[in-house]
Amino acid sequence: MKIFIDSAEIEEIKAAAQTGLVDGITTNPSLVARSGRNFKELLEEITSYIHGPISAEVTENDANSMFEQGKELAKIHENIVIKVPLNTEGLIATQKFSSEGIKTNVTLCFSANQAWLAAKSGATYISPFVGRLDDISSDGMALISDIRTVYDNYQYETQILVASIRHPEHVLQSILIGADVATIPYKVFMQLIKHPLTTAGLETFMKDWNQASPNQ
């Protein structure tokens, strides 16, 4: 499963990229707004650190305007993936992008039916939001399992990009179900690496080593 970092903060992106484990980046208007950066300048800078897919979301409301805005964003770099909403206009725009060979990430998916329609529209990625479903006492990971079954049944090439990840267990479940990508907040990404027992074990090893080899 590929790892994308869900962030618009350059320092987080740089730190994650240095691990050599990150395959791409997702952004959204909320993350960009919090960063305080010019969107196009931010995307250009991200491409210097991340050499995989970078999702950039359109902010227009109708399909034709989404398409025109997305084409301009796609010119920034060959790795830019155009992020569109999962509504009627977004699906129409997705078909337009697909016909032009422009990759898309269809976002805000909350049902397997929606994911099926996105795949039929030619989406490169589908982004189901598992955390937001959990927030309303639904089962976000069950949706990932359902989408995996639908896509495998009909050999759709659309990749399942698990989004709205809240904790490492979401990541583990995504791996076990067979999702293609998980887009992970930087904090959760670091939680995947760190474990209190690993930290305690290393501290014990170093303490024992220093006691056994005081002159080294």
Predicted local confidence at residue 208, as pLDDT: 85
Residue 107: helix, strand or coil by DSSP?
strand
Single out the catalytic residue among 83, 96, 103, 207.
83
Q: What is the C-alpha R_g of the chain?
A: 20
Return the structure tokens found at 154.
């009909």
User: How many Å apart are CA 77 and CA 211, to the nearest integer?
Assistant: 54
Q: Which amino acid is at 68?
A: E
Q: What residues contact 79, with CB distance under 8 A and at least 6 apart?
A: 24, 47, 50, 51, 52, 53, 54
Q: How far from chain centre, in Å, is Cα 155?
A: 22
Predicted local confidence at residue 129, as pLDDT: 98
Predicted local confidence at residue 95, as pLDDT: 98
- What are the distances in angstroms from CA 7 to CA 40, 67, 147? 15, 24, 25
Convert 120-145 to b/e letters by CB count within 10 Å (16 or more is b).
ebbbbbbbbbbeebbeeeeebbebbb
Which domains, and CATH codes, for the chain? Answer: 2-212 (3.20.20.70)
Predicted local confidence at residue 212, as pLDDT: 82
User: How many Å apart are CA 187 and CA 12, to the nearest integer?
Assistant: 9
Predicted local confidence at residue 210, as pLDDT: 87
Predicted local confidence at residue 122, as pLDDT: 98
83 is catalytic: yes
Predicted local confidence at residue 216, as pLDDT: 55
Backbone angles phi, psi at 189, to 5 degrees: -55, -45
pLDDT in tens, 127-170: 999 999 999 999 999 999 999 999 999 999 999 999 999 999 99
Tracing tokens 């080593």 back to the chain, one arrives at 209
Reading the chain (216 residues) residue by residue, the pLDDT tens digits are 999 999 999 999 999 999 999 999 999 999 999 999 999 999 999 999 999 999 999 999 999 999 999 999 999 999 999 999 999 999 999 999 999 999 999 999 999 999 999 999 999 999 999 999 999 999 999 999 999 999 999 999 999 999 999 999 999 999 999 999 999 999 999 999 999 999 999 998 888 888 887 665
